[in-house]
Chains A and B, each alone.
Chain A
Amino acid sequence: MSVVRQIRRALRLSLQKAGVLLTCEEFEAFVADFHEGRLDPTTRAKFELHLAFCPDCTDYLAAYQRSVAAAKSALTPQPNDPPPQAPQALIEAVLAAREAGSVAD
């Protein structure tokens, strides 16, 4: 851990003990609402104050937001992607089941 990081951590601990700053564990409870822009102004200010003192939560939040964006991007069809295809056997099975008038349990 770098010296700067250690100093910020010590300062953060003393501010947490004084009740001025959220703990990381308390901060965690607000991450999803922050990500979705749902924090009220007071809570958002407390959240951002914690971030200013906490490199660990700053790193965590950056990685969290990147992960959400990556999931969305990976699962969203790209402009050049061909439309998703189903195997021909599945298509024929669906049509055959319809013709037979049967519905699988």
Chain B
Amino acid sequence: MANNTALAQALEAAPPPRPGLTANQTAPSANRSNGAREDALVARLQAGDEAAFRTLVETYAGPMLSAARRVLADTGLAEDCVQEAFLNAFNALDRFESRGSLGAWLKRLAINAAISKLRRTWMREPAIDPLLPQFDDNGCRFEDPWREPDAAVDVQMERTELREAVLDKIDQLPPSYRTVLMLRDIEDYSTQETAHLLELSEGAVKVRLHRARAALKTLLAPVWAETIS
């Protein structure tokens, strides 16, 4: 059994959504039919309907696993997080208010579980400095000339092998930087939300985000070069 402190921490970082919170936490108005389906599911869950629990897990385990996998870059650990997140959610379902987004809440619980797991390894992660821009004594940048690929990024990303190459490079970022990149640039968390989740200052989040992007730029250089030659 997870201890009550761990559960309280997970839920404190991802409380059941309530009206008036950010777009990440509440269902967009354009998604009303989805919201209505979630409301009905929540009502069945809160009434203890066994089939509803299966529907819940079958519906949301995939997106939760995908989100946790992005943080951890490890499928096995991500599966552990999904399990932990669901069990935390089951214990908090009676507090869930149906006007929030169930899917967003569950995904957030999975991300929180992944971050919690990841934080234990941050002190041992490789340095990012070799991937950052280099400058000479005059403050001038050392930079290889860049040739913009002809195709737009979205068009290039339709190629499966290129998309996989980009995902592989993202996985090569040191975990704490990859997590900031994922939360800010992909999940659209605010700087403040990210800082709260990662227990960092907002300034530290901004620095990590920029370094993560700069390091990714270095890692992707050979990928772009291949698309040109």
Q: Which residues of A contact B (CB under 8 A)?
A: 9, 12-13, 16, 23-26, 28, 31-32, 35, 54-57, 59-60, 62-64, 66-76, 78, 83-87, 90-91, 93-95, 97-98, 102-105
- Cα A24 to Cα B140 with chains together (Å): 5
Nearest residue, chain A, Cβ from B86: A94
B88-140 CB contacts (< 8 Å) to partner A? 88, 90-91, 133, 135, 138-140
Closest Cβ–Cβ distance, residue A25 to chain B (whole Å): 4
- Give B127-168 as 1s and 0s: 1 = Cβ < 8 Å from A's Cβ atoms: 000000101001111111110110001101110000100110
CB-defined contacts of B87 to chain A, threshold 8 Å: 94, 97-98, 103-104
- Whether B156 pairs with A70 at a CB distance below 8 angstroms is yes
- Whether A74 pairs with B166 at a CB distance below 8 angstroms is yes
- Cα A44 to Cα B82 with chains together (Å): 44
- Whether A70 pairs with B91 at a CB distance below 8 angstroms is no
Q: Is B57 interfacial (CB-CB < 8 Å)? A: yes
- Cα A24 to Cα B54 with chains together (Å): 56
- Whether B86 pairs with A75 at a CB distance below 8 angstroms is no
B44-65 CB contacts (< 8 Å) to partner A? 53-54, 57-58, 61-65
CB-defined contacts of A97 to chain B, threshold 8 Å: 83, 86-87
* Known contacts A95-B54, A105-B3: A63-B146 contact under CB 8 Å: yes
* Known contacts A32-B209, A95-B54: A71-B62 contact under CB 8 Å: no
* Known contacts A71-B186, A75-B186: A84-B139 contact under CB 8 Å: no
**Majority secondary structure of chain B interface residues (helix, strand, loop or mixed):** helix
- Cα A28 to Cα B213 with chains together (Å): 12
Which of these, A71, A72, A94, A105, contacts B1 with CB under 8 Å? A105
CB-defined contacts of A104 to chain B, threshold 8 Å: 2, 80, 83-84, 87
Closest Cβ–Cβ distance, residue B114 to chain A (whole Å): 14
- Cα A87 to Cα B57 with chains together (Å): 11
* Known contacts A83-B62, A105-B2: A71-B170 contact under CB 8 Å: yes
- Whether A84 pairs with B63 at a CB distance below 8 angstroms is yes
Q: Is B220 interfacial (CB-CB < 8 Å)? A: yes
- Whether B153 pairs with A69 at a CB distance below 8 angstroms is yes
- Whether A91 pairs with B185 at a CB distance below 8 angstroms is no
- Can you list 28 A-B pairs with a CB-CB distance of less than 8 A? A24-B133, A28-B133, A28-B135, A31-B210, A56-B142, A56-B143, A57-B143, A59-B144, A59-B146, A60-B133, A62-B146, A63-B146, A64-B214, A71-B170, A71-B186, A73-B154, A74-B170, A75-B186, A76-B186, A78-B157, A78-B158, A85-B62, A86-B64, A87-B79, A90-B79, A94-B87, A95-B57, A98-B87
- Cα A35 to Cα B184 with chains together (Å): 13
- Whether A73 pairs with B141 at a CB distance below 8 angstroms is no
CB-defined contacts of B54 to chain A, threshold 8 Å: 91, 95
CB-defined contacts of A66 to chain B, threshold 8 Å: 148-149, 153, 217, 220, 224
- Whether A71 pairs with B216 at a CB distance below 8 angstroms is yes
